[in-house]
Structure 1
Amino acid sequence: MGETMELRNGLVRVPASLPQLPRHAEAGERVYQLAISLLERVLRFQGIRVTARGVENVPQFGPALLAMNHTGYYDFIFGEIPAYLRGRRLARFMAKKEVFEVPVLGRAMRAMRHVPVDRAAGAAAIDEAVDHLRSGRLVTIFPEATISRSFELKDFKNGAARIAYTADAPLIPMVTWGSQRIWAKGGKKNLGRTGTPVLIYVGQPLELSGDAAADTAALKAAMEELLAQARAEYEAEYGPFPPGQPWQPAALGGTAPTLEEANRMDEADRARKAREREEKAARKRAKTERKLDAKLAKKVRKAWRRLRKER
């Protein structure tokens, strides 16, 4: 884009004008910093080439809510990079509670102070995110609430606008492009040394009105603009790409499902998972009932034996 770029941390290309800041107090959080160090090694092993723009929009101190698009499972890695470039700051991700139920991973997520989200009852997650922001921390949220199979922006939930306004914290739009080439939902995993390029764009904080619907619409519009810029740079820098790429949206000539098709696939997934939860609950109830029946039968047999002895 005509500006001088330089490599930071031996991994991320940024504009040379981006200030190098002293370490934030969060640089002393050992568990999270260790996790970042390990993930950096993963990215280097894979030869991932990351370029980040607009990083200066992440505050050096104080809170901010970073709202990010969601196209792949590596988004949690790339979403931390802008914060880390600001004096090794840390972002607390809002992630579905099922992740926290995985034995080892869940313990690590809690140690890093990420926020579990129960999609059936999200009030607790909102309160926890607000508490983080009021304590001066950074929080990252996926307004789409799930990975987009179409690689387009899905409908947004209004949680990001509500959290930022309640906490009186800046709401900052952020997008990544290229992450879906590494590991997307339902797609092929490319976890070897692929050399995949990834772009991260961070926008300026939004002016919030307190109207959750209007602020959410403004957030989506800002992220759509950033995403268009990222896609244009990606094509100019690393393309042209032949048509029929599985990681490209249908509107750009790719074979990814359209947004409507992806929504239907997501709905089918939700219905399947609901059935599986109900079947699991039914099996658990049946098992409990069998145990109770067995205990009752045992008691009846004991009572019958006593009755026979008394006769």
Structure 2
Amino acid sequence: MRRYRGFFVPGLYEGIAANRDEAVERFYQGLVGFTRRVMRAAKIDVTVIGAENIPAHGGALLAGNHTGYADFILLGTGPFLHGERLVRFMAKASVFDVPVLGRLLKVMKHVPVDRARGGDSIAPAVQMLKDGNLVGIFPEATISRSFELAHFKTGAARIAHQAGVPLIPCVIWGSQRIWTKDLPKHLTNVPVIVRYGEPVALTGDADADTAELKRQMQLLLDASRAQYAEFFHDGAGEPWMPVALGGTAPTVEEADKIYARERAAREAQKKHRKR
């Protein structure tokens, strides 16, 4: 591994010229630069593998696992290295109505998703991809407390197929040690591995394509975990490591029950507010 633009990359990796259209977005690029400086000062050492799988131009959907609140930042490291590209993340439409925050999200061209529209909710993401942008999505739709790959929704496969763009799997490992649900924050001195795979071959069968996406992401996750254990920390006995690998995180079943209780509580609050 060697350092390249503040990150660790494989020795044979070669960067490419900046994407001219995206490099001129001053606000978003400035925010990326600021975040890089903060991460460096905090000694959040990020190893990026497979950035060459991200296209230099044109649309692509990046599908990542979700274990911590820093995943939005970390998923964008590969695109930054490979042409200074920017990722437009999908977010709940209601967030765009929040003063100041909504305005910032619009400036950065993030993608509003209105789940009440059903199948039509993916239309903005499809259009953003057809316009030549990178779009980021987390198929699990929520942070996985088990730190295993949780249930995947089919949106990623449907969006990529409908837009006619590559679906690129991404796995982040170590983010849960920085900041995640139910665990203390550790905002300094944490290594992270971000790994991108080759595009998933899409058939148009959303269920089958989603299963293949998850299979490929599991392979990437296994590789990153093995590398992490060898060079950084094996996670034995740690709450940020899955039970199956010697950690003390909730099992997938336990995590599902926690999520179900949270969802029920949210629904109860909504009904109470409507009274």
Decide which of 29, 35, 38 is 2:34's aligned counterpart: 38
- Unpaired segments ≥5 residues, structure 1: 283-311
Question: Are positions 1:226 and 2:189 aligned together?
Answer: no
Letter in 2 for 1:231: R
Contact 2:172–2:192, Cα closer than 8 Å, also in 1: yes
Question: Are positions 1:74 and 2:66 aligned together?
Answer: no
- What residue number does 2:166 align with? 170
The 1-side partners of 2:101 and 2:12 are apart by 37
SS at match of 2:100: helix
Question: Are positions 1:131 and 2:127 aligned together?
Answer: yes
Moved more, 215-224 or 22-31: 22-31
Report deviation, 1:246. 1.1
The 1-side partners of 2:118 and 2:67 are apart by 22
- What residue number does 1:84 align with? 80
- What residue number does 2:192 align with? 198
- What residue number does 2:240 align with? 247
Sequence identity percentage: 51
- Unpaired segments ≥5 residues, structure 2: none
For residues 184-205 of structure 1, what are the alpha-carbon distances to aligned partners after superposition, in whole Å with 9 as ceiling and x for unaligned? 11221222xx210000110001
The 2-side partners of 1:57 and 1:264 are apart by 36
Contact 2:197–2:220, Cα closer than 8 Å, also in 1: yes
Distance 1:72 1:97, change over 3 A: farther
Decide which of 74, 90, 94 is 2:90's aligned counterpart: 94
- What residue number does 1:15 align with? 10
For residues 145-204 of structure 1, what are the alpha-carbon distances to aligned partners after superposition, in whole Å with 9 as ceiling and x for unaligned? 11101101111100011001101101111100000000011221222xx21000011000
SS at match of 1:107: helix
- What residue number does 1:57 align with? 53
Report deviation, 1:16. 2.8
SS at match of 1:103: coil
- TM-score when normalising by structure 2: 0.95
Letter in 2 for 1:175: V
- What residue number does 1:259 align with? 252
Question: Are positions 1:160 and 2:161 aligned together?
Answer: no
Letter in 2 for 1:142: F
For residues 69-117 of structure 1, what are the alpha-carbon distances to aligned partners after superposition, in whole Å with 9 as ceiling and x for unaligned? 0000000000111111111111111123454344332221121111123
Letter in 2 for 1:12: F
Letter in 1 for 2:190: T
Letter in 1 for 2:267: A
- What residue number does 1:118 align with? 114
Bigger Rg over Cα: 1
Report deviation, 1:134. 0.6
- What residue number does 1:295 align with? none
Letter in 2 for 1:244: G
Distance 1:156 1:272, change over 3 A: same
- TM-score when normalising by structure 1: 0.85
Letter in 2 for 1:42: V
Contact 1:72–1:183, Cα closer than 8 Å, also in 2: yes
The 2-side partners of 1:139 and 1:72 are apart by 19
Distance 1:274 1:160, change over 3 A: same
Letter in 2 for 1:278: K
Report deviation, 1:118. 3.3
For residues 118-154 of structure 1, what are the alpha-carbon distances to aligned partners after superposition, in whole Å with 9 as ceiling and x for unaligned? 3444545410110011111111110111110110111
Moved more, 105-114 or 215-224: 105-114
The 2-side partners of 1:41 and 1:102 are apart by 27
Contact 2:115–2:121, Cα closer than 8 Å, also in 1: no
